Structure 1
Amino acid sequence: MRLIPEKTPFRISTTDLEVKYTESGGVIIRLDVQTLDDAIHHRYREIQLKFTTVAELRCITLNLFEQYAGNIDISLPEGEGITYWEQYGYPSDSGLYQVIPSTILEEKEKLFDPHSRLNLRHYLIAGYDSYIEIIASGYSQE
């Protein structure tokens, strides 16, 4: 599985994820993150990610990296840590990923989006002892 970290101004640092799904409103995920300032001062904050046009949501109560040990390739840029974050404005590994290529999306895209209008993507959010997979058009931070 190849994971591409999303370029976000935060990194996910959570032991608890909360998911709210409504048919008309999409998916809202509440989780703990750190901004650059939070990381420097060892603080955390709660945010919500809102996913719109959701085709599929899966919540798995297993540690992602233990479940797929040796089978995950995270495409990280050169450099890491606070210095990288300060230079580029986002952490090298946000904990929010796109799965590329996605076998799930390839298998179900004709079912979810037969006319290729939704621009669906396969996202993965890694918690501590669980992870979330979501097929959606996009997300916003609230």
Structure 2
Amino acid sequence: MYLAFKDLANVFADKRGANEPNLVFYSVTDQAKIKQPKGIFILLNDESGELSDAIANGAIAAVWDKKVKLPPYTPSQFPVFFTEDTIEAVRNLLQYYLEKLDGEIEKKMDITKFDFLNKELLNKNEQTYDIAAMLKKVAREIDNIRRERRG
């Protein structure tokens, strides 16, 4: 199950561009220069690259820091989701996606690929640099929260 436009709209209240509820995303990355067909580009810092490169490599949406001016060449229909803290946005998006996948029972399904190489993001993760391990950690945290809610 792919991450969809409507999922991002649930995570990020502030957005601009086309409203395409059925649009799905195959990847999420912080690296503009890698191929990302039907991808979401997240500008984490200067190491991430330029939005123009991300679009040229297949990005069809972006998560953008409100404090950073959006380049004037950004297409008016290009979906951009704004956030105050891009690193926290990545965590929230991962957590939302894990909750979306929770309970899926298909042994083989298409999922959105999360690919982060940014040192700033990795350094804020005290446990590991492995995104799969981060996903497992978030999943455990979600399970703990659910157990606490049940009482």
Fold match (TM-score > 0.5): no
Report the TM range for the smaller structure's normalisation: under 0.3
Highest RCO, 1 vs 2 (Cα 8 Å, sep ≥ 6)? 1
**More strand per residue:** 1
Q: Which is richer in helix?
A: 2
TM-score (norm 1): 0.25
